[in-house]
């Protein structure tokens, strides 16, 4: 078999580490519980996933999809943002975030940018912008590297027919 093509002849593209972690953030965003925005965050250090988060209600509270959004000053306050939920997940499991990288589907809001900085995140990778945020200013002032990564392909390539050791479930 050609190294570059599978049995079906499709071109094979192994994602870069940045693309891989951003696709994980995109997948996390599918768990979001607010219809106003789906955002995902993956916190990584040394190519190891430390924590993930998505925008959603605090544990035990109703979700926007179930009871509607709670809007204050044009923002839904029923949910925590993905970055806050990822930081909280790391905290609950005793994970130190010093020197980590945040892969976030959207530019963080001002509050999330400050939380990422305070948690010790040193690099933030985004694939889309966000309105009304001072994140870039705070990142620059705190020497946090900001990387804009083009949105990776929104498809997961997994074809059982191409893998001789895999068999479909019965």
Q: What are phi and psi of 2, to 5 degrees?
A: -60, 135
Cα angle at 115 between 51 and 130, to 5 degrees?
A: 90
Question: 4 an active-site residue?
Answer: no
Catalytic residue (one of 83, 98, 145, 153) = 83
In 3D, which of 100, 80, 78 has the Cα closest to residue 88? 80
Measure the CA–CA gap between 32 and 104, rounded to whole angstroms.
13
Tell me how crowded residue 33 is: count the other CB atoms within 10 A of its CB.
17
Measure the CA–CA gap between 90 and 94, rounded to whole angstroms.
6
- Positions marked active-site: 83
């Amino acid at each position: 078999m050609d190294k570059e093509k599978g049995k079906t002849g499709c071109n094979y593209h192994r994602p870069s580490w940045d693309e891989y972690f951003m696709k994980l953030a995109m997948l996390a965003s599918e768990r979001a519980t607010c219809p106003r925005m789906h955002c995902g965050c993956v916190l990584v250090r040394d190519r190891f996933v430390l924590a993930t988060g998505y925008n959603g209600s605090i544990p035990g509270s109703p979700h926007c999809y179930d009871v509607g959004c709670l809007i204050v000053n044009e923002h839904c306050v029923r949910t925590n943002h993905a970055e806050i939920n990822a930081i909280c997940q790391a905290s609950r499991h005793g994970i130190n975030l010093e020197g980590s990288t945040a892969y976030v589907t959207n530019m963080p809001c001002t509050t999330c940018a400050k939380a990422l900085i305070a948690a010790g995140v040193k690099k933030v990778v985004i694939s889309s912008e966000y309105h009304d945020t001072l994140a870039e200013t705070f990142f620059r002032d705190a020497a946090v590297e900001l990387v804009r990564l083009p949105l990776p392909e929104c498809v997961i390539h997994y074809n059982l027919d191409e893998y001789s050791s895999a068999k479909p479930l019965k």
